[in-house]
Amino acid sequence: MAIHYKSIKGSFIDLVPLFILFFITFNGNSVLELKYFTININYILIYYWVLRKPDTMSYGYIFISGIITDVILGLPIGITSLALLFVAATAAYVRVVTVKVSLVADWISFIPALLVGNFIYFIVLYYSNNTVDILYMFQNSIFTFIFYPILWLPFTIISKLMKS
């Protein structure tokens, strides 16, 4: 009985990142909007989990999450998926070239992922004749970058709880 409980508990903890991803997706807004600033939680979530535990969050889940976000927000289909997949690809590249895991290395390597993801998002929205607020995107990028270490700690704790 105890063996079954441990396997069920371990399987549930392994799915926590996907639950968070789809909770944010179905919430209809991947951006945490506070009074004075916004934070793109999806970028942080995808970057961390593709970087540290790629088995947990596959590219298929990321793509489906982006498509659902586009449908809910009324954006052209594929914009968010493309941006999220570029963030995931950057994280996969950093995972290959990283020697030692540390918060500072992850945080610094998050800059190109954030820039590439937002650049793709901006270019596709711009050429599809949607309105783009550059100042909003810049503020979102800055505060997403600042907020990364705050989420790095709980994600690391969840990662250590996962079965190897």
User: 38-94: per-residue pLDDT in tens?
Assistant: 888 999 999 999 999 988 889 999 999 999 999 988 888 999 999 999 999 999 999
pLDDT in tens, 116-155: 999 998 998 888 888 888 898 899 899 999 999 999 999 9
pLDDT of 14: 82
Candidates 73, 63, 65, 44; CA nearest to 131 is 73
- Left if phi > 0, otherwise alpha if psi is -120 to 50, otherwise beta: which for 28? left
Put simply, whether the predicted model's pTM sits higher than 0.95 gets the answer no
Confidence bin at 110 (pLDDT 50/70/90): very high
E strand or H helix at 21:
helix 16-27
Alpha carbons 109 and 94: distance in angstroms, whole number: 7
